[in-house]
Structure 1
Amino acid sequence: MFTANRTRLIWTSFFIFLLMLCNTKAYSKVKDIEGKTLTLDECISIGLRTNPSAEISLQNMKAVQEKIGEAKGGYYPSFKLSSSYTYTTPLDGNVGASPDNYDTRFSVKQTLYDAGATSNLIEGVRQNIKAQEYDVKKTALDIILNIKSAFYDVLKRRDILKVSMTALATTEKHLAQSKELYKEGSAPRSDVIKSEVRVSNAKLDVIKAENALLSAKANLATAMGQAVTTDFNVIYHNEGLLPILPSFKDVLLFAYDQRPELKGSRARIESAKASIDQTKSGLYPNLGLDASYGWQQDEFSPSEKKWSIGLSVGIPIFEQLTVKSKISQAAANLNGLKAAETQTIRNIELEVQQAWLSLKEAMERLDVTKKTLEQAEEDMRVSEGRYKEGIGNILEVIDAQTALTQARTNNVVSLYDIAGSGAKLDRATGKEPMEEINK
Structure 2
Amino acid sequence: MLGLIIWIFVAAGAEALTLEGAVELALARNEAIEEARLDRLRAREEIREGWAEALPEITVRGNYDRSWLLPSFVFDTPQGQQTFSIGTSNTITGVLSVRQVLWSSGKVGAGLQAARAFRSLTESGHLLAKQMVAAEAEVAFSNVLLAESLVEVSREALTQARANLDQVTSLRKAGRVSDYDLLRATVRVTALRPDSIRAAHGRAVALLDLKDVIGVPPTEKIVPDGTFRNKTPLDLDDPAALVSQALGGRPDLVQAGFEVTMREAAIRAQKSEMRPSLDLVATGQLQAQSNTFEFAGDDFIQSWVTGVALNLPLYAGTRNRALVNKAKVERRRSEVAVTRLEKRVRRDVRQAWYDVQETRERVDAQEDIRTVAERNAELATSRYGIGFGTQLEVLDAQVVLTRSRSDLVLARFDLARALVGLEQAVGISPFVEVEAGGRE
Q: TM-score, normalised by structure 2?
A: 0.86
Which secondary structure does the structure 1 equivalent of 2:318 belong to?
A: helix
The answer for the alignment partner of 1:173 in structure 2 is 163
The answer for the alignment partner of 1:75 in structure 2 is 54
The answer for the alignment partner of 2:270 in structure 1 is 279
When residues 434 and 171 of structure 1 are mapped into structure 2, their CA distance, relative to the original with a 3 A threshold, is closer
- Structure 1 position 163 matched with structure 2 position 142: no
- Structure 1 position 269 matched with structure 2 position 260: yes
From 66, 69, 89, the equivalent of 2:45 is 66
Question: Is this contact kept in 2: 1:369–1:414, CA < 8 A?
Answer: yes
- Structure 1 position 412 matched with structure 2 position 403: no
Deviates more, 1:274-283 or 1:130-139: 274-283
- Structure 1 position 41 matched with structure 2 position 20: yes
Which secondary structure does the structure 2 equivalent of 1:212 belong to?
A: helix
The answer for the alignment partner of 1:6 in structure 2 is none
Question: Is this contact kept in 2: 1:54–1:136, CA < 8 A?
Answer: yes
Q: How far apart are the structure 2 equivalents of 1:351 and 1:221?
A: 29
- Where structure 2 has 5 or more consecutive residues not aligned to the other structure, the ranges are 75-82, 292-297, 433-440
The answer for the alignment partner of 2:33 in structure 1 is 54
Which secondary structure does the structure 1 equivalent of 2:53 belong to?
A: helix
Question: Is this contact kept in 2: 1:147–1:223, CA < 8 A?
Answer: yes
Match of 2:95, as an amino acid? R
Q: How far apart are the structure 2 equivalents of 1:60 and 1:197?
A: 61
Map 1:22-171 onto structure 2 (within 5 A): 33=9, 34-90=13-69, 96-97=85-86, 98-171=88-161
From 224, 230, 250, the equivalent of 1:241 is 230
**CA shift at 1:296, angstroms?**
2.9
The answer for the alignment partner of 1:383 in structure 2 is 380
The answer for the alignment partner of 2:430 in structure 1 is 433
Question: Is this contact kept in 1: 2:287–2:300, CA < 8 A?
Answer: yes
Match of 2:133, as an amino acid? I
- Structure 1 position 302 matched with structure 2 position 292: no
Q: How far apart are the structure 2 equivalents of 1:332 and 1:229?
A: 54
* Structure possessing the higher radius of gyration over alpha carbons: 2
Q: How far apart are the structure 1 equivalents of 2:115 and 2:160?
A: 67
Question: Is this contact kept in 1: 2:278–2:309, CA < 8 A?
Answer: yes
Q: How far apart are the structure 2 equivalents of 1:136 and 1:31?
A: 27
The answer for the alignment partner of 1:260 in structure 2 is 251
Q: How far apart are the structure 1 equivalents of 2:287 and 2:23?
A: 69
Q: How far apart are the structure 1 equivalents of 2:119 and 2:144?
A: 37
The answer for the alignment partner of 1:292 in structure 2 is 283
Match of 1:382, as an amino acid? L
Match of 1:292, as an amino acid? T
Which secondary structure does the structure 2 equivalent of 1:372 belong to?
A: helix
Residues 11-70 of structure 1 deviation map (CA, whole Å, 9 limit, x = unaligned): xx9xxxxxxxxxxxx9xx977635121222222222222222211111122112211111
Deviates more, 1:57-66 or 1:391-400: 391-400
Q: How far apart are the structure 2 equivalents of 1:30 and 1:261?
A: 32
From 241, 247, 255, the equivalent of 1:250 is 241
Which secondary structure does the structure 1 equivalent of 2:151 belong to?
A: helix
- Where structure 1 has 5 or more consecutive residues not aligned to the other structure, the ranges are 1-8, 14-25
The answer for the alignment partner of 1:18 in structure 2 is none
Which secondary structure does the structure 2 equivalent of 1:241 belong to?
A: coil
Which secondary structure does the structure 2 equivalent of 1:75 belong to?
A: coil
The answer for the alignment partner of 1:188 in structure 2 is 178
- Structure 1 position 317 matched with structure 2 position 314: yes
The answer for the alignment partner of 1:216 in structure 2 is 206
**CA shift at 1:320, angstroms?**
6.4
Match of 1:140, as an amino acid? K
Q: How far apart are the structure 2 equivalents of 1:242 and 1:112?
A: 59
Question: Is this contact kept in 2: 1:76–1:110, CA < 8 A?
Answer: yes
- Structure 1 position 203 matched with structure 2 position 193: yes
Match of 1:176, as an amino acid? D
The answer for the alignment partner of 1:3 in structure 2 is none
The answer for the alignment partner of 1:348 in structure 2 is 345
Aligned length: 410
When residues 54 and 31 of structure 1 are mapped into structure 2, their CA distance, relative to the original with a 3 A threshold, is farther
**CA shift at 1:341, angstroms?**
0.7
Deviates more, 1:413-422 or 1:129-138: 413-422
Question: Is this contact kept in 1: 2:147–2:206, CA < 8 A?
Answer: yes
Q: How far apart are the structure 2 equivalents of 1:89 and 1:151?
A: 81
Q: How far apart are the structure 2 equivalents of 1:151 and 1:303?
A: 78
**CA shift at 1:242, angstroms?**
5.1
Deviates more, 1:401-410 or 1:42-51: 42-51
Q: How far apart are the structure 1 equivalents of 2:378 and 2:314?
A: 96
Match of 1:327, as an amino acid? V
Match of 1:166, as an amino acid? E
Question: Is this contact kept in 1: 2:101–2:280, CA < 8 A?
Answer: yes
Please identify which structure carries the higher helix content.
1
The share of aligned pairs that are identical, in percent, is 22
Q: How far apart are the structure 2 equivalents of 1:381 and 1:433?
A: 42
Match of 2:337, as an amino acid? A
Map 1:361-376 onto structure 2 (within 5 A): 361-376=358-373
Question: Is this contact kept in 2: 1:283–1:320, CA < 8 A?
Answer: no
Q: TM-score, normalised by structure 1?
A: 0.86
Match of 1:241, as an amino acid? N
When residues 225 and 353 of structure 1 are mapped into structure 2, their CA distance, relative to the original with a 3 A threshold, is farther
RMSD: 2.6
